């Protein structure tokens, strides 16, 4: 059985490697990631993970895996930090507050059935000073990331509390991923 990763994220490749999985093929899915009107963050993350998995052509002997990590502040879905000004705004919003990192994973096996799970991780940041925000933005680390930060880097020092899946906040919840892959016959040595 061959594994197709529907993601160009280096973080997701690295996370899969932690559980002994190397994709046979990597394909970047192209989908509209705009939230639907009134869509809740959990529903949004699950929908995107499945849409990404379905956007990649799959041969009969292939299993497709895709993921989505969504940062939510209450019912508000925070966008990726596409530029430094957006990143500053996001970090100010997260400063001193709890938020949810919803990391959904979807696996499609030979039966063409989507199996989807989500890890909901609560993350609380310390209150950030403007100097800390500016230094983090200037590091370039969180640019392009959901919520404007990368927990596996410098931003980990902002976290005063975390309850849930650390790997999910990075980009792929490994417990849920392993369970879904096992459910379609992927074996782990």
For helices 174-183 and 10-18, angle between their N-to-C axes, nearest 10 degrees: 70
Paired strand residues for 72: 77, 100
Q: Are 73 and 17 in contact (CB under 8 A)?
A: no
Determine the 3-state secondary structure of 58 from DSSP: coil
Residues of the chain short of pLDDT 70, as ranges, are: 189
Determine the 3-state secondary structure of 122 from DSSP: strand
Catalytic residues: 68
What pLDDT sits at residue 189?
64
CATH of domain 2-183: 3.90.950.10
Q: Token digits for 118? A: 């989500």
Phi first, then psi, for residue 112 (nearest 5°) are 65, 20
Q: Token digits for 147? A: 């919520």
What pLDDT sits at residue 187?
85
What pLDDT sits at residue 114?
97
- DSSP H or E run through 12: helix 10-18
Other Cβ atoms closer than 10 A to 140: 10
Question: What pTM was estimated for this model as a whole?
Answer: 0.94
What pLDDT sits at residue 1?
86
């Amino acid at each position: 059985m061959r594994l197709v990763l529907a993601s160009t994220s280096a973080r997701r490749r690295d996370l899969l490697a932690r559980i002994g999985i190397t994709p046979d093929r990597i394909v970047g899915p192209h989908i509209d990631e705009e939230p639907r009107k009134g869509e809740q963050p959990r529903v949004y993350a699950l929908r995107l993970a499945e849409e990404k998995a379905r956007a990649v052509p799959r041969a009969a002997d292939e299993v497709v895996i895709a993921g989505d990590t969504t940062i939510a502040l209450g019912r508000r879905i925070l966008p990726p930090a596409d530029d430094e000004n957006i990143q500053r705004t996001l970090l100010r919003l997260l400063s001193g507050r709890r938020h949810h990192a919803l990391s959904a994973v979807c696996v499609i096996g030979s039966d063409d059935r989507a199996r989807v799970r989500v890890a909901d991780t609560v993350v609380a940041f310390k209150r950030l000073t403007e100097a800390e925000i500016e230094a983090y933005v200037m590091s370039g680390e969180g640019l392009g990331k959901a919520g404007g930060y990368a927990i596996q880097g410098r931003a980990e020092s902002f976290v005063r509390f975390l309850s849930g899946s650390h790997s999910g906040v990075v980009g792929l919840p490994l417990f849920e991923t392993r369970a879904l892959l096992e459910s379609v016959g992927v074996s782990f040595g």
